[in-house]
Amino acid sequence: MQTLPDFRLGINSTPLFSAPSDPSERRFWHSLYWNLSSHYVSMDTRREESRTTHSGLRTASEISASERVLDFLSVSPRIGGVFTVYDRDRSGGRYPWWAAGTGSLSLSSDVYGTFQEGGLGYTAFRHTISPRAVIRWSPESHLAGGDDGISLSPADSASTKYWTFSDFSLPSSGGTVQFGLFQSLEAKRESPSGIEKTELASLDLAVSYDMDPGDSERSFSPLSASLNLTPVTLARFRADAAWDLYDRELISMGFTTSLQIVGNDRTLVPDSVSFQGLPYRLSFTHHYTRGFDGADDLSKIRASASLELTPSWSIDYTTYYDISKGSFINQSYTLRRDLHCWEALFVRHISDMDSGFYFRINIVDLPDIKVEQHVSNF
């Protein structure tokens, strides 16, 4: 598969109106922000007996605001729109396009308590509870255009006309309300460099309500829970689970353990040299997913190692290993060259499905501005 060109352009959240320097003169419209993102891609997928090409341009923009009501409630309305045009539709029509809008309203608050007694080497702890609710809505119709003219079309008919590839999704419709409760336990301690703050644990609960569940008649989604533990800065543990509110049973569960080590290697440095050594980074992640309804358990390891040979040259190795099957999923070797404001990468990737080479040159601060070439035997 080849994606050339692949061009992205974005404008980060920017004030819609300039705010006056005097806070007393500010009005609600001074809290309005807007953003824009655009993506053009041309894809060429070649297989042994077939070849498929797709290209399209997708542009999305949003206007949002954030206000605090009654000193404890944050209110954030948001409206947006998406415009997408393709080289062809499923019937062969040239340059079909669609445009759709969406809106949301977020409500959130924070309640916290501080404990100054401390312990475990920390001087104080803070427990924060943050309830939230997000209402999202999309119209049932979208504006469609092409060889057959311009018309309003139902959202559920988009899949029969438009292709989906890369991040080009189809217009959606309906409304949902998401409820969530986030809790975190933070700690702080004093060090010679100043005050250090650490998030030791967090728990996030979420469930959503579908305003139009259709034939399923199940308006509520499964209740999801995510627990994060960071006992030390080098290690992290995460547990995720989902509970079906209607069948009253656990439907998914997974655990992720991560370890990261950063340091300097003096193996190749003479003892007489005061140089600290070559900077290196090692990371290790193990992910386990329990199988349900007859599915097998999954247990996989992802590891990587990087070494900076010079301030401009570095090498990286990454691997993805399936413990359940006892085989490598993929491996890659990367040679990186710093070209001041540009960087060049050469990657050799190996897997049972796709092995080949990848070369890219891009601007460091704007990685989406790039030139790349991918050659594989897939």
372 and 230 together in one domain: yes
Global confidence as pTM:
0.72
What is the arithmetic mean of pLDDT over 141-156?
A: 90
Beta-sheet strands, E only, within 162-248: 174-191, 194-210, 223-232, 235-244
Confidence of residue 312 (pLDDT cuts 50, 70, 90): confident
Taking CA atoms, 115 is separated from 54, 163, 317, in Å, by 58, 55, 44
262 and 335 together in one domain: yes
> What type of residue sits at position 335?
L
- Is the pLDDT assigned to residue 1 strictly greater than 80? no
165 and 311 together in one domain: no
Last residue of a domain, one of 191, 221, 251: 221
- Quote the pLDDT of residue 374: 67
What is the arithmetic mean of pLDDT over 194-219?
A: 88
- Is the pLDDT assigned to residue 203 strictly greater than 90? yes
In a domain, residue 354? The reply is yes
Which of 237, 226, 278 is CA-nearest to residue 260?
237
234 and 169 together in one domain: no
- Quote the pLDDT of residue 272: 62
Higher local confidence (pLDDT), 296 or 118 = 296
Last residue of a domain, one of 171, 188, 221: 221
- Is the pLDDT assigned to residue 99 strictly greater than 60? yes
Q: Are 106 and 132 in contact (CB under 8 A)?
A: yes
217 and 350 together in one domain: no
In a domain, residue 195? The reply is no
In a domain, residue 190? The reply is no
Structural domain count of the chain:
2
- Quote the pLDDT of residue 68: 87
157 and 255 together in one domain: no
Give the mean pLDDT of the chain: 88
215 and 312 together in one domain: no
In a domain, residue 351? The reply is yes
53 and 103 together in one domain: yes
213 and 228 together in one domain: no
- Is the pLDDT assigned to residue 61 strictly greater than 80? yes
- Is the pLDDT assigned to residue 377 strictly greater than 70? no
- Quote the pLDDT of residue 361: 86
In a domain, residue 201? The reply is no
* Residue given tokens 């440095």 in the structure block: 269
In a domain, residue 284? The reply is yes
Mind giving me the DSSP string for 60-108?
A: EEEEE--EEETTTEEEEEEEEEEEEEESB-TT--BS-EEEEEEEEEEEE
pLDDT in tens, 3-38: 568 889 999 999 988 888 888 888 888 889 999 999
- Residue 294 has what DSSP assignment? T
Its sign, for the CA torsion 205, 211, 212, 218, is positive
168 and 258 together in one domain: no
Q: Are 72 and 104 in contact (CB under 8 A)?
A: no
In a domain, residue 27? The reply is yes
- Quote the pLDDT of residue 56: 93
- Quote the pLDDT of residue 81: 96
What is the arithmetic mean of pLDDT over 320-339?
A: 90
- Is the pLDDT assigned to residue 100 strictly greater than 90? yes
Confidence of residue 320 (pLDDT cuts 50, 70, 90): very high
Token pair in block for residue 209: 């309500």
In a domain, residue 121? The reply is no
55 and 25 together in one domain: yes
> What type of residue sits at position 352?
D
174 and 228 together in one domain: no
- Is the pLDDT assigned to residue 370 strictly greater than 80? no
Last residue of a domain, one of 221, 248, 283: 221
- CA–CA separation, 333 vs 316, rounded Å? 6
- Domain span including residue 258: 224-377
Token pair in block for residue 363: 């601007």
